[in-house]
Amino acid sequence: MGHGHHHHDHSHDEAVELPPVLDQSVPDEALTPDEVSRRGMLRGAGLLGAGVAAAGVLAAPGTARAAGPAARSNKGGYLWLAGDHHIHTRYSSDGMYRVIDHVRHANAYGLDWMVITDHGSLQHAKIGVEHVNPEIRAARAEIDDTLVFQGLEWNIPAAEHGTVFVHPGPNEVSVLKDFENTFDGVVTDTTASTSANEALAIAGVNFLAGAVTRRRVRDALFLANHPARKGIDSPHEIRGWRDAQPRIAVGMEGAPGHQAAGIPAPHGPGSGRGFYDNSPSAASFAGYPPESYRTFGGFDWMTATVGGLWDSLLAEGKAWWITANSDSHTVHADTAARGTANDFNTVGYYSDPTYGGDLALANGDFWPGYYSRTHVGASSFSYAAVMDAIRAGRVWVDHGGLISGLDVRARQSSGGQRGVTLGGVLQVRKGQKVELVIDIDLAGGPNWSQFQPTLARVDVIQGDVTGPAADRDTFTAPNTKVVKSFEVGRNSGSVRFTYDLGAVDRPVYLRLRGTDGTRNGTGARGASVDPNGPLIDVVGDADPWKDLWFYANPIWVLPH
């Protein structure tokens, strides 16, 4: 990339350093002519701003250092840490487990990091947010190779739920508690989809940024959960959160939890996969079509639709990342029962789970790490590095262990550079030939259903970067489509594919997905856009193990 990188150690008190061209605190006058030109290019493409800065664009691979157990995948210069940012305990009125129950399972199933996110509620704001903390700290002490964050499942005013979480520290509880008391939709009775409540949501995101700026907590992040489930996260609300604080509001669940919910009755809940079985309401965004209320191959419509809402943000140049989580409340076929010795409404949590004596087949969730994983490319095994990696978009997700490792690089076709990875921006001269190099470690072993899944196909999705959308409720990207598919048909070893972009004369972005090939068909925007996409999941008949996908976050290529 030819730009002088600062090989800084990610010591934890240090903010992520930005290349001068992206750091807006550096005036144009302080840049070299070449840098000024690049900054102008970035502005022109709508890409300059804290978001892309926050996205770790031009992150230097050399900053990674090996850390943590050897079992973790070190690929492409990063330590890839699997995690889950959406997990409920007995401090949620619809949960039941202790913190340690989740942490033990998550650790056994291979998760390196996890976020405890109980629902915002009157009881939680008063009691749960404090009482869960000693359980979390005890779990951190007992299981030292899974990082356990404390977070909150925020009832976003006027909208859906979202994960809010902070870096551990002496103020983790007080910041979360202040946030919940002031900005939670249920606690403050602001769930209705009104413009006043939409403004409160933005104020909440700003509050989190302030808590970091004033160093009450070292870091904070917000990601929207199950965004299309009820149609109440309108496109302008998503843009609003993101644009208010691009370093805080960084993404959304590409795949919701509750992936067992579509297992047919009587062996499963027989509901919609992800419990996505709603339909338009008075609170929903009128423009969303009926299919947006269902999952596609287990993924949320905003992410699964090629040329859909997610792509419309990426085509604007907005850094906005996807994740996949368990949303684990009650686990499918578990034998535990909710403890009933306490009254939740007065005590704020359920007593210890008891032995239930039967398989709970109506439960729709998996344990964290059992089925859904969010893999982040971290510079070290630390809380700060996980948060940095999420913010940078060095994130890919999989279901059912479809693949075990992924390194994606956009780079000049000649010259031997390593290129930039997920979440990054490749700067090239106009007309420069560019290639996308995809290295995949296949399953290589059994998943938690004890079979070794086969990756059938990988799709490269490409779109033009067209700058800011005039209509903040835009949810289509007309120029985005599947541009290349690679057949695989293997379940062990590794494969490399190279997609040749040719000479790049306009800003574009690329993203990847892969499938086990069991349920493919024409995407919602037609065969010319997506001929073999994920199919809409059948309510009451969606076996999650028979429809596996992985998705990767985007890389931008900007010629200038």
Interface region with other proteins, contact rule CB under 8 A, candidates 41-49, 79-87, 288-296, 483-491? 288-296
478-515: burial string, b at 16+ Cβ within 10 Å, e else: ebbbbebbbebeebeeebebebebeebeebbbbbbbbb
Q: Which listed residue (94, 142, 145, 500) binds other proteins by CB under 8 A?
A: 94
- State both tokens at 493: 């070893």
Query: Would you say 309 or 504 has its CB closer to other proteins?
Result: 309
Q: Which listed residue (278, 342, 454, 498) binds other proteins by CB under 8 A?
A: 278
Q: Does 538 bind other proteins (CB under 8 A)?
A: yes
Give the integer Cα–Cα distance in Å for 223 and 55. 14
Query: Would you say 529 or 536 has its CB closer to other proteins?
Result: 536
CB of 124 to other proteins, least distance (A): 8
CB of 283 to other proteins, least distance (A): 4
Give the integer Cα–Cα distance in Å for 287 and 235. 10
Query: Would you say 186 or 428 has its CB closer to other proteins?
Result: 186
- State both tokens at 216: 């009450």
CB of 204 to other proteins, least distance (A): 17
DSSP per-residue codes, 101-150: HHHHHHHHTT-SEEEE-PBP-HHIIIIIHHHHHHHHHHHHHH-TTSEEEE
Is 1 within 8 Å of 420 (Cβ atoms)? yes
Q: Does 271 bind other proteins (CB under 8 A)?
A: yes
| Partners of residue 255 on adjacent β-strands | 324
Q: How many residues make up the chain in this entry?
A: 560
User: Cα 220 to the chain's mean position, in Å?
Assistant: 15
Give the integer Cα–Cα distance in Å for 352 and 96. 8
Q: Which listed residue (230, 247, 273, 409) binds other proteins by CB under 8 A?
A: 230
φ, ψ of residue 200 in degrees (nearest 5): -65, -35
CB of 349 to other proteins, least distance (A): 13
SS3 state of residue 485: strand
Strands 508-515, 455-464: pairing kind? antiparallel
CB of 536 to other proteins, least distance (A): 6
Gyration radius (Cα) of the chain, Å: 22
Give the integer Cα–Cα distance in Å for 187 and 204. 13
Q: Does 301 bind other proteins (CB under 8 A)?
A: no
Q: Which listed residue (280, 405, 444, 478) binds other proteins by CB under 8 A?
A: 280
Q: Which listed residue (26, 67, 283, 437) binds other proteins by CB under 8 A?
A: 283
- By CB under 8 A, what part of segment 143-172 binds other proteins? 155, 160-161
Q: Which listed residue (282, 355, 357, 450) binds other proteins by CB under 8 A?
A: 282
SS3 state of residue 557: strand
Interface region with other proteins, contact rule CB under 8 A, candidates 14-22, 65-73, 268-276, 314-322? 268-276
Q: Which listed residue (286, 358, 414, 470) binds other proteins by CB under 8 A?
A: 286
User: Cα 467 to the chain's mean position, in Å?
Assistant: 23
Edge-to-edge strand list for the sheet holding 494-503 = 403-412, 433-442, 494-503
Query: Would you say 189 or 505 has its CB closer to other proteins?
Result: 189
Query: Would you say 11 or 195 has its CB closer to other proteins?
Result: 195
Q: Does 292 bind other proteins (CB under 8 A)?
A: no
Q: Does 275 bind other proteins (CB under 8 A)?
A: yes
CB of 269 to other proteins, least distance (A): 9
Query: Would you say 120 or 254 has its CB closer to other proteins?
Result: 120
Binding mask 181-220 for other proteins (x = CB under 8 A): -----x----xxxx--------------------------
SS3 state of residue 394: coil
Q: Does 524 bind other proteins (CB under 8 A)?
A: yes
Is 106 within 8 Å of 367 (Cβ atoms)? yes
Give the integer Cα–Cα distance in Å for 297 and 538. 10
Q: Does 24 bind other proteins (CB under 8 A)?
A: no
Q: What single-letter amino acid sits at 50?
A: A
Is 218 within 8 Å of 172 (Cβ atoms)? no
Q: Does 281 bind other proteins (CB under 8 A)?
A: yes
Is 336 within 8 Å of 95 (Cβ atoms)? no
Q: Does 92 bind other proteins (CB under 8 A)?
A: yes
- H-helix or E-strand spanning residue 386: helix 383-392
φ, ψ of residue 176 in degrees (nearest 5): -65, -40
Query: Would you say 101 or 180 has its CB closer to other proteins?
Result: 180
Q: Does 515 bind other proteins (CB under 8 A)?
A: no
Q: Does 89 bind other proteins (CB under 8 A)?
A: no
Q: Does 119 bind other proteins (CB under 8 A)?
A: yes
Interface region with other proteins, contact rule CB under 8 A, candidates 6-14, 286-294, 348-356, 551-559? 286-294
- Compute how many residues bind other proteins; rule: CB under 8 A: 40
Q: Which listed residue (107, 117, 121, 363) binds other proteins by CB under 8 A?
A: 121
Give the integer Cα–Cα distance in Å for 149 and 222. 13
Query: Would you say 119 or 140 has its CB closer to other proteins?
Result: 119
Q: Which listed residue (63, 73, 89, 93) binds other proteins by CB under 8 A?
A: 93
Query: Would you say 70 or 282 has its CB closer to other proteins?
Result: 282
Residues found near other proteins in the complex (CB under 8 A): 92-94, 119-121, 124, 155, 160-161, 186, 191-194, 229-230, 261, 264, 271-272, 275, 277-284, 286, 290-291, 294, 524, 536, 538-541
